[in-house]
Structure 1
Amino acid sequence: MARRILVVEDEAPIREMVCFVLEQNGFQPVEAEDYDSAVNKLNEPWPDLILLDWMLPGGSGLQFIKHLKREALTRDIPVVMLTARGEEEDRVRGLETGADDYITKPFSPKELVARIKAVMRRISPMAVEEVIEMQGLSLDPALTA
C-alpha cells in the first residue's frame, strides 16, 4: 500500500508538480490548498507524512503544526516544511515548532523524495522498504514488523 502524503501548498503549479513527483515515486499524495482544507484532510486514513508550506491562506504552516501536535491522534505524523522562507531564523523556528525537516524553494525533486524517505525511515524504519516478489509470492516488510 502506498504511503499517503498530505501536500499542503497554496500555489497550484507547485502543488501539482510535487504530487506528480510523489506519484512517480510510489507515494499517494493528498492535496490541500489552504489551512482549512489541510485541517479537514486530517482524518482516517491518516497521512503518513505532511509536506507543508509556511504561508497559507487562512493560517500559517506553523499554526498548522501546533494544531497537529496538540492532538493525540496526529501528533506523531512527521512534517516536512517546503517553503520559500529560507533564512536561518525561519528554518530554526520551523524545526523548533515541530517540523521534522525543512526544505526551501526552489528545490530539487530528487532531494525532496530523498528527504521524505529519510524522515519516514527515522519514524518507521520499515515504512519505505520495497516489497519483495518471487515466484508469485510477495513479502511486504512493512507488514512483518
Structure 2
Amino acid sequence: MPAKYGHQWTECELLTFNVSTTSADINTFFGVKELPAIQISPWFLSDEMKPKPLSGLNKDRFFFDYLFCALTEDKAAVNNFAQFILRLLDYDSEDRIIRSRMVLNFTMCGKTVRAKPDISVISEDREGRKEGRKEVYYMAWSKI
C-alpha cells in the first residue's frame, strides 16, 4: 500500500490495519483525577465584543484578531488561531512546547516514516535529550 496522509485513509483501510478510536472522559484521557484550573480572562466568558484599545485587556484583544483571520483567511490563519488557543489554555506550560510543522519520525511496518502535523504539543525528555526522545501529546492536521 502506498503511503497516504491520515485524512486520505478509508474506513476499510482503518479496519485492515486495526486502527480504532476509543472514547474517554477528560480525566481518563489525561490520566489525572482533577484538571488544573484554567487561568483565562473572565472577559472571554462574559463578553461577545472585542475590547476597546487601552481597556486593560489588550492581550485579550488578540483572541478576536486570530479568530477573524481564521474565519476569513487561509489554513495558516487557522493554525495560528489553534496555537493561540493552546497557549491561552496553558498547554505550553512546564516542560511542554507548541510546535508547528515539526517533522516527526515513526516506525511503521519496520520502516521509518515521517509525519508533519500542522500543530504539535510536545514534551522534551530532559534526560533523553541527547537521544532526541520526545513525547507527543497532541497533533492536528487539516485539509484545505
If the length of structure 1 is used for normalisation, what is the TM-score? 0.28
* Structure that is richer in helix per residue: 1
TM-score by length of 2: 0.28
Q: Which has the larger radius of gyration?
A: 2
Higher relative contact order (CA 8 A, sep 6+): 1
